[in-house]
């Protein structure tokens, strides 16, 4: 297994539960998330910056 530090921008959602689901879906595209955190919010663009550590199978 390999670990990666990634940053993703997520569109903000009306419902906090939907935001969590959107974050988890985006991170799942890049690997298995070990941990993640919202590190910034841009109210003008309505986006959240998420930093995460994910694992991927070794090649």
Q: Where are the domains of the chain?
A: 2-56
Contact 56, 38 (CB under 8 A): no
Is pLDDT of 59 > 80?
Answer: no
Convert the pLDDT of each residue in 3-17 to its tens digit. Answer: 999 999 999 988 988
Is pLDDT of 50 > 90?
Answer: yes
Convert the pLDDT of each residue in 23-45 to its tens digit. Answer: 999 999 999 999 999 999 999 99
Torsion, Cα of 12, 16, 17, 22 (10° steps): 20
Give pLDDT, residue 28.
94
């Amino acid at each position: 297994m390999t670990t990666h530090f990634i940053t993703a921008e997520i569109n903000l959602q009306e419902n906090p539960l939907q935001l969590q689901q959107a974050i988890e879906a985006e991170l799942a595209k890049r690997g298995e998330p070990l941990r993640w955190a919202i590190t910034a919010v841009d109210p003008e663009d309505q986006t959240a910056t998420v930093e995460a550590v994910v694992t991927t199978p070794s090649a």
